[in-house]
Structure 1
Amino acid sequence: MTALTLYALTGAALIGLGLYGLIAARHLLRRIVAFNLLGSGLFLYLGAAGARGDGPDPVPQALIITGIVVALSASALAVGLLVAGARLSGRATLPEEAE
């Protein structure tokens, strides 16, 4: 097993954990963390995919750096909206579904 295969499998595992967290978590902050975990797995997988061949490909590296900046700003916005929503409603979880 090469290092690139290990990175790709680790990225796939992080993507799976992030998807599970998005589906299973009721607390909105946990969903934000799960979404960030999913994004980190995608960045790791994209980096492993871009490193194949003769040398590193600069396009996936540029996409990863841009994605990290966008993910950081989106996470800050999501946490800010979560705090504002929690102040208004008094809770930071999703409402119960009507059965």
Structure 2
Amino acid sequence: MMTWASGWLIYGLTGATLIGLGLFGFASHTNLLRRILAFNVVGSGIFLVFGATGFRVPELGADAVPQALIITGIVVALSATALAVSLITRHASLSGSATLPDDDREDR
């Protein structure tokens, strides 16, 4: 008998919450480092949701393929984050700001 507090359901709902919070943070902040952090929160939520879907039959345990893909995704996310931070530090050294310029001009 499944209850509403099954492990996969808690992981799935937590992942969906993280995805929502990350998207809100990405859309509401102009600071590039905060946007990277929000993007990583979205990625963590996706990993949780994907891991929750891989755990179908509790007696058999989790499927190995989603686990391998999640571990690979974590490594790729770490590499992409390092690249993004290095690009932001270069942008900040050239422009003097870690934010993107405003795009409010109407004379394009």
Larger C-alpha radius of gyration, 1 or 2? 2
Residue 67 (structure 2) aligns with: 61
Aligned length: 99
**AA at the equivalent of 1:94:** L
Pairing partner for 1:71 from 68, 71, 77:
77
What RMSD, in angstroms, separates the aligned Cα atoms of the two structures?
Answer: 0.9
Which residue in 1 is equivalent to 2:93?
87
Long gaps (5+) in structure 2: none
**Residue equivalent to 2:20:** 16
Whole-Å separation in 2 of the counterparts to 1:78 and 1:84: 10
Residues 1:43 and 2:47 are matched in the alignment: yes
Shift of 1:97: 1.8
Q: Distance in 2 between matches of 1:49 and 1:94?
A: 37
Could you list the per-position Cα deviations for residues 38-75 of structure 1 after superposition, in whole angstroms to 9, with x for gaps in the alignment? 00000011111101123211110000000000000000
Amino acid at match of 1:52: R
Q: TM-score, normalised by structure 2?
A: 0.88
Single out whichever of 30-39 and 17-26 deviates more from structure 2. 17-26
Q: Distance in 1 between matches of 2:38 and 2:8?
A: 24
Partner Cα separation in structure 2 for residue 93 and residue 70 of structure 1: 24
3-state secondary structure, aligned to 2:101:
coil
Regions of 4+ moved over 2 Å: none
TM-score computed with the length of structure 1 as normaliser: 0.96
